Chains A and B, each alone.
Chain A
Amino acid sequence: MNLLTGEIIAIKTEGSLSLVKVMVQDCAITSIVIETPETATYLRIDNKIKIVFKETEVVLAKAFSGAISLQNKLDCNVHSFEKGKLLCKIILNFQNTKFASVITRNAFDQLDIKENDLVQAMIKTNEISLATHD
């Protein structure tokens, strides 16, 4: 479980869904939740919130160009990694914190990931959960 802390800067609601934009230092991350400011007290602008996402949902790209539907793109550099036969776990430095990505060994080899490499970590909006800040 990856966990980052930020502040809510925008909330867009349609029906019972809300698109929540959270500022994590200087990077905006969006999450979609089945809540609205009417049903959830934590959905308030300026509220501190934690964003939670699974390591296996973090897509990695290197020197990426072109259009992509993924909204959350975090510039990171590779801190360290562990290699398995099928999967690899990559620890990423993001701003002053760390989080992890788990991708297949094939993908790891194709990207030719090495320590200190600059990579873009991408997470789909619907893979990000919100947790209260306490």
Chain B
Amino acid sequence: MIVFKIQKKLQSASGEMLLNLDFEIKENEFVTLYGASGSGKTTTLRILSGLSEADKGIITIHNETWLDTDKKIQLPPQKRKIAYVFQDYALFPNMSVRENLSYALEKGQDKTIIEELLALMELEQLQHQKPAQLSGGQKQRVALARALVRKPDILLLDEPLSAVDHEMRLKLQDYIIQVHHKYKLTTILVSHDIAEIYKMSDKVIVLENGNISKQGTPEQVFSSRLVSGKFQFVGEILKIEKENFIYIVVVLIGNNVVKIIAMEEEIKDLNIGNKVLIASKAFNPIITKIDL
């Protein structure tokens, strides 16, 4: 469990702002920070990692105190078991992929983690190449692998996917979900992409001018629009078929594939892979017993 209660005065474009946050994150939870730029998301990650100082507050991780301004406790960044991945890959240009990973090893650390990460992130073919020879998505895979070398407990991702194209973004999301589960990480992502948030997060914390304006599951935070719908599901679009002016949208809900009729105006913003909310009046469904 991460307990995060901090205050910090920030200079923002519109003057002084007080970042005033109080939240908890469970172990192995995937949490997204969502909010306009300047709302305090990056500063939150920086305070958690120890790169920025808070004016006041406490941070405890699994009952270990990382920060307590009253008791003058402040664990230095290198002692916090945190990995931080930014939009900027920050790879060493003169080192190969493998060397970039090896450089992150702690003294005396078992080197098998390098092989494991190269395999897991599908970087074996690229391991002897230099960053300049890699695409943006490949560089970000290397940055992610390097961040995991020291086996962190907490993974911080500050818009790591915003510079890569849509297809690569979807793939990188899968890599992140995979490592999140495999290494039992507690992951905190900063993202503006609602489909991405639905796909990845257990919980969303919405920041507004330094305060938490809303938090909950992605469904709770983003789908309150249709308030009276009692028959609602979140699914993923598998296929969109056009039949004249009608569209048939094939959606995966849990393990079931369903089809929904939609109009052109509704499918305008929809793409395959998008998370969508399916809602119907509770009066429509027909219920029958299944005799086995």
Contacts and interface: CB of A to CB of B under 8 A. Distances in A.
Interface string B261-290: 101011000000000000101111000000
A100 B229 CA distance: 21
Given A126-B281, A129-B281, A35 B228 contact: yes
B78 to A, nearest CB: 45
Interface string A94-105: 000000101000
B230 interface: yes
B258 to A, nearest CB: 15
B225 interface: yes
A34 B282 contact: yes
Nearest to B282: A34
A126 B231 CA distance: 13
Contacts of A74: none
B263 A127 contact: no
Contact of A33 (B225, B228, B245, B261): B228
A8 to B, nearest CB: 12
A14 B97 CA distance: 67
Nearest to B266: A1
A34 B224 CA distance: 15
Interface string A118-131: 00000000111111
Given A84-B245, A131-B225, A131-B227, A100 B281 contact: no
- The interface residues of chain B, by DSSP majority, are classed as loop
A44 interface: no
A97 B91 CA distance: 55
A87 B244 contact: yes
Nearest to B229: A129
A83 B31 CA distance: 47
A82 B244 contact: yes
B292 interface: no
B235 to A, nearest CB: 16
A130 B224 CA distance: 11
A73 to B, nearest CB: 19
Contacts of B228: 31, 33-35, 40, 129-131
Interface in B184-235: 224-230
Nearest to B283: A126
Contacts of A82: 244-245
A33 B281 CA distance: 8
Nearest to B262: A1
B163 interface: no
A1 B263 contact: yes
Interface in B113-142: none
Given A32-B283, A100-B263, A132 B245 contact: no
Task: Identify the interface centre among B224, B266, B283: most chain A CB within 10 Å of its CB.
Answer: B283
A79 interface: no
8 nearest A-B residue pairs (beta carbon): A84-B244, A126-B283, A130-B228, A33-B228, A82-B245, A34-B230, A89-B245, A131-B226
Interface of B: 224-230, 243-246, 261, 263, 265-266, 279, 281-284
Given A34-B230, A129-B229, 5 more contacts: A33-B230, A35-B227, A84-B243, A89-B245, A130-B227
30 contacts: A1-B263, A1-B266, A31-B228, A33-B228, A35-B227, A35-B228, A42-B227, A54-B261, A55-B263, A82-B244, A82-B245, A84-B245, A84-B246, A85-B244, A87-B244, A87-B245, A89-B246, A102-B263, A126-B281, A127-B281, A127-B283, A127-B284, A129-B226, A129-B228, A129-B279, A130-B226, A132-B224, A132-B225, A132-B227, A134-B225
